[in-house]
Amino acid sequence: MVMKRFRVIFVAVVAAWTMSTLVRAQGAPDPAAAFFDDSILHEIRFTINTKDWTSLKVHYLENTYYPADLRWNDVVVRNIGIRSRGTGSRSGVKPGLRVDFDRYTTGQRFLGLKSFIVRNNTQDATGLRERVSMNFFRHMGVPALREAHAKLYVNNEYAGLFTIVESPDKDYLQKNFGENGGHLYEYHFDNAAVAAGAAPFVFQYLGSDPALYVPVLFKPETREDDPQGEVIAQFVQAINDTNAASWRTSMAAYLDLAKFIRYLAMENFLGEEDGHTGDYGPNNFYIYRFLNTNRFQFIPWDKSNTFWENANYSVFRNLEDGPVEKRNRLVLRALQEPDLRQLYLNTLLECANSAAEGATATQPGWLEAEIGRVYEQIRPAALEDLLIFSNEQFETGIADVKAFARGRSDAVRLQVAAHQ
Amino acid sequence: MRMLAAALLVLLAVPLRARGAEPAQPKSAAGASTDSTVSANERGAQAKPPKTKKPKKAKKPKGDVPAPDEPVNPDEPDETGGKGARATWKQHPSLRFGSVFRLDFEAKFQEDGRATYEGATGLESWELHRNRVGIQGHLFKKIEYEVERELTEKELTEKELSAGQAPKSPWKDVNVNLTFIKNAQVQLGRFKVPFGLDTLTGVTHNDFIYRSLGANYLTPSRDIGGMVHGRFFQHGLNYSVGVFRHDGDNARSRKIQGGDETFAARLTGTPLRRINPRAFTNLELGSAYTLSSLSDDSFRPNGLRGRTLLTQDTFFEPVYVKGHRSRWEGDADWTFGSGSARAEYTVVLDSRLQQGLANNDLKDARARAWYVSGSWAVTGEKKKRPLKPNNDFLQGGIGAVEVVARIERLWFDSLGSGEAYRSTRAEFVLPEGEKAFTIGVNWTLNRFVKLQINGIREDVDRDRNPALPEMFPPAAFWNKVIRLQFVL
């Protein structure tokens, strides 16, 4: 009798273990998938004390948190924390927000999320450059952050059209890299110093002192109590290693150069004016160092300055031209390697093909179609939001972005051909 | 620091008698110095002043020689004798003109050595904690005055001032006390709001290096105002009633605006002084109440905050408040022979009108604190504040040695019950607090110099949220503090 009961229990345990393993292997459903479903225009409602909302807008340059309740569809999350966020995009008229669910309640989550970003797009009249760019990265196989547009209501008053952006946090790392125990850093571009005439950080070696890099340039987002800035110092030192023979070997310990070059090519295909080879020096990225290794991975961030100027925007801008002190030394050094340079050109062509995917004489390619899809979705809400841009600026911006996308593939192919 | 060390050496080296510190200067209980309370025991221990016009100049026991930090009673005969203008140094260095004018110079220095948990920020191992100088005296015996200033108060930077941070005043007690009617004296200026036994006990009289948590964070302390106070039945009943501009220094900080327009009343008495057993003769009971207005003009939360004793880590962030702040405290102060015991309970209620997320009214935020403490002079002195040695160090004795202990708690929450959050506008505030236990030794070398050693165990009861980036102390830790005090 006892043996029979033991067998039953044993079989039940084995069955349960097998089932859970199968579920894990298939990938558990992501509860936040519906929140970032970009096929619909979302609606987010905050209830916040009116004095706090006024204060947040008046003190928009500060990172003070204010309590609020969040409603999305039928889901209500109470006592969340929101604060003003952004660098150049900070606004007291239309504040960008960081939403933290566990600021006031330990362990509180919303659809499994600890936080998310409400981007105000104050530097982009179209409001869609960021989202379309991230979609393009994902289309090219890069694990970019998920985004969707949302109408924001504060105390039942329309506060404008925003983009909701997945936070680059531990959940994101686990989902995209299969681990989250390493070191995640947000790159901090010192606007004030550069505006005052200081040279930007372009991956030049500043010295071995970790404090020269962390947290002034690389702000720890995980493992803050053990930031290990010395590894970043070693990484930068390796970038600047002048020994041509050993450069690839020493860099291999820190970076998958091929992956980085592909990422760079995608960014430049999109005409990113404020990215790795931007006009102001390298900017707008996170960097993740995998657990128990010195290997880094770049993560794209804030692509509101893509589709810059026109379709002929040079994919060699600030590589072959521009002020020397603003050129990214990592990129310059990597592109001295023939195979990496060829990879850069090949990836640009791959981007051109991908962007033009599905194009016919009467149908736009993938990229322009994507812009059109997002435009149709957000247009009524954008026209209602006159806080930063007029309707004319919005429509003109959309026309420019579409024109960029329409002509970009051919323009890049021509630029690549000229450099083969 | 050098000055303090030099002064200490001089005091230890020079016999007190050589400096003519003989005659007693019985103190006043009129409350001219609001930096100290005078317990029933202390009053009982004082020799009643002789009523003759020419007091006897015979030397009194050394124990009756007043310490520099004992209050002065202008009604006491001037034992320095003489008429006209003169300079004397009995209790303090003093300038006098007959019996119509008196100006005493006084100073208080406290140097602290401190150690706490590893990784604590902003805590220097050695600190000149207090460096106060002042004057006090009277005019025509009916107008008492006092001016005291802290010389080491840290000034704010321009950046801090431009950010709207209010500097803490370096001025401590700046006031006059009119004693034309003994039972209804009028005090005007800057002095302590009459609330809290521990707070009203002078800084050099305290049995512990640091006041209790409740005294530090819930009582008002000093403010500018006016007060009527007096006593009846030979101190059997004392009262103080006043109005003040704000609700005291303790409620304000660089980030917290604090309350305004405060009404305060305090009543103390010795109800058991005439009954047997006589052990309870000196049991003094007290209670106080304050009512302040609270605005939400500042964009920052204006509630009270909870901090640790030594490191002043914030374990309870202030919540948004508006309306009124009411404080109540009850206290007991008992001295018996060489021992003493004290207990105090304080509760503060802050209304939160229109402070909800939907601008709705919330239930009051609440802060509570209590402590129980005791002391015992192992060298046999009769308990007073300040404690004076029967035999000074190097003058035939070792000074007075006293052992002390205190247990206390401070905690914050809100009225009502429901799902609690840490949020500054939570309907129900998540309870958070701290317990502390202090043991110590006080060694009073002579009436000028005191050495205090305290071990303080702090136990922080807080929901530890990994999302909060602020540095924070461990859940429980020891502080070790040594203080050298010099009064003049």
Q: What is the pLDDT along chain A (420 residues), one digit of tens a residue?
A: 455 665 655 555 555 554 444 444 445 678 899 999 999 999 999 999 999 999 999 999 999 999 999 999 999 999 999 999 988 889 999 999 999 999 988 889 999 999 999 999 999 999 999 999 999 999 999 989 999 999 999 999 999 999 999 999 998 999 999 999 999 999 999 888 888 888 999 999 999 999 999 999 999 999 988 999 999 999 999 999 878 889 999 999 999 999 999 999 999 999 999 999 999 999 999 999 999 999 999 999 999 999 999 999 999 999 998 899 999 999 999 999 999 999 999 999 999 999 999 999 899 999 999 999 999 999 999 999 999 999 999 999 999 999 999 999 999 999 999 988
Distance CA B393, CA B402 (A): 14
Residue from the list B359, B424, B465 with its beta carbon closest to the beta carbon of A67: B424
A398 closest CA partner among A417, A358, A370: A370
Does B469 contact A224 at a Cβ distance shorter than 8 Å?
A: yes
Q: Is residue A366 part of a domain?
A: no
Instruction: Indicate the residue of B300, B320, B467 with minimum beta-carbon distance to A102.
Output: B467
> If you measure CA to CA, which chain A residue comes closest to B358?
A49
Nearest-by-Cβ selection for B423 from A59, A64, A67: A67
| Global ipTM | 0.78
Fill in the amino acid letter for B188: L
Alpha-carbon gap, residue A147 to A133, rounded angstroms = 10
| Among B362, B334, B359, residue whose Cα is nearest residue B429 | B362
Contact B314, B412 (CB under 8 A): no
Q: Which residues contact B278 (CB under 8 A, 6 or more apart)?
A: none
Query: Can you give the pLDDT at residue A274?
Result: 94
Model pLDDT, residue A243: 82
Q: What is residue B17's predicted lDDT score, i.e. its pLDDT?
A: 40
Q: How many CB atoms lie within 10 A of CB B183?
A: 10
In the DSSP assignment, the letter for residue A233 is H
Q: Which residue is it, tokens 């208080």?
A: B108
With CB atoms and an 8 Å threshold, state whether B467 touches A106: yes
Could you tell me which residues are beta bridge partners of residue A98?
A83, A117
CB atoms under 10 Å from CB of B208, counted, come to 25
Bridge partner list, A43: A151
Q: Do A106 and B424 touch (CB under 8 A)?
A: no
Is the residue at A112 inside a domain? Answer: yes
Determine contact, residues B266/B244, Cβ cutoff 8 Å: no
Q: Is B8 helix (H, G, I), strand (E, B) or coil?
A: helix
Nearest to A51 among B296, B466, B467 (CB): B296
B243 in Cβ contact with B262 (< 8 Å): yes
Judged by CB atoms closer than 8 Å, whether chains meet at B357 and A104 is answered as no
From B135, B137, B132, B159, select the one nearest B147 (Cα to Cα): B135
Q: Using alpha carbons, select from A353, A358, A273 the residue that is nearest to residue A307.
A: A273
Scan residues 197-236 of A and list those with Cβ closer than 8 Å to B: 224
Residues 6+ apart with CB under 8 A from A392: none
How far is the C-alpha of B103 from the C-alpha of B87, rounded, in Å?
A: 9
Query: Do B283 and B334 touch, CB atoms closer than 8 A?
Result: yes
Nearest Cβ partner for B358 among A47, A55, A58: A47
CA A357 – CA A351 distance, rounded (Å): 10
Contact A204, A236 (CB under 8 A): yes
Question: Is position A420 within any domain?
Answer: no
Closest CA to A116 of A98, A134, A95: A98
Residue B400 Rama label (left phi>0; alpha psi -120 to 50; beta): beta
CB-closest option in B355, B422, B463 to A49: B355
Can you tell me which residue has the tokens 């290096």? B209
Chain A contact present for B423, CB below 8 A: yes
As beta bridge partners, residue B410 has: B369, B434
Residue numbers in chain B where pLDDT is lower than 70 = 1-65, 72-82, 153-168, 465-472
- Residues 30 to 49 of B: which have CB under 8 A from any A CB? none
- Closest by CA to B220, choosing from B186, B196, B187, is B196
Q: Which helix (H) or strand (E) holds A229?
A: helix A229-239
Question: Which helix (H) or strand (E) element contains residue B285?
Answer: strand B284-294
Torsion-angle region of A207 (φ positive above 0: left; ψ -120 to 50: alpha; else: beta): left
pTM of the model as a whole: 0.80
A313 DSSP β-pair partners: none
Structural domains of chain B sorted by starting position, each given as residue range(s) with its CATH number in brackets: 2-487 (2.40.160.10)
Judging contacts by C-beta atoms under 8 Å, the chain A residues touching residue B359 are 49-51
Domain with A136 in it: 42-167
Say yes or no: A153 contacts chain B, CB-CB below 8 A. no
User: Which residues in chain A touch residue B467, judged by CB atoms under 8 angstroms apart?
Assistant: 100, 102-103, 106, 114
Is residue A373 domain-resident?
no
3-class SS at A265? Answer: helix
The reply to whether residue B357 touches residue A100, judged by beta carbons under 8 angstroms, is no
What does the alpha-carbon distance between residue A146 and residue A126 come to, in Å, rounded to a whole number?
18
B243 dihedral zone (left: phi>0; alpha: psi -120 to 50; beta) = beta
CA dist B66 and B68 (Å) reads 6
At B30 the pLDDT is: 36
Q: Per the domain annotation, does A162 fall within a domain?
A: yes
Put simply, the chain A residues between 22 and 61 with a CB less than 8 A from any chain B CB are: 47-52, 55, 58-59
Give residues with Cβ within 8 angstroms of A274, minimum separation 6. A280, A283, A284, A302, A304, A305
B467 in A contact zone (CB under 8 Å): yes
* CA nearest neighbour of B111 among B35, B6, B234: B6
Query: Among B431, B295, B461, which residue's Cα sits nearest to residue B367?
Result: B431
Strands B260-269 and B306-307: unpaired
Longest dimension (CA), chain B: 75
Q: Which of B250, B307, B311 is nearest to B481 (CA)?
A: B311
Residue A400 · residue A128 · CB < 8 Å: no
| Rg, C-alpha atoms of chain B | 23
State whether B357 and A49 contact (CB < 8 Å): yes
Q: In whole angstroms, what is the distance from residue B167 CA to residue B253 CA?
A: 8
Residue owning tokens 């002064």: B7
Query: Which residue out of B299, B320, B419, B430 would a mutagenesis test of the A interface target, given it has the greatest number of A Cβ atoms within 10 Å?
Result: B299
Size of interface A-B (CB pairs under 8 A): 60
Half-sphere exposure of B420 (CA within 13 A, CB side): 14
Domain tally, chain A: 1
Q: Which residues pair with B373 in a beta bridge?
A: B342, B406
Q: Which two tokens stand for residue A378?
A: 């957000």
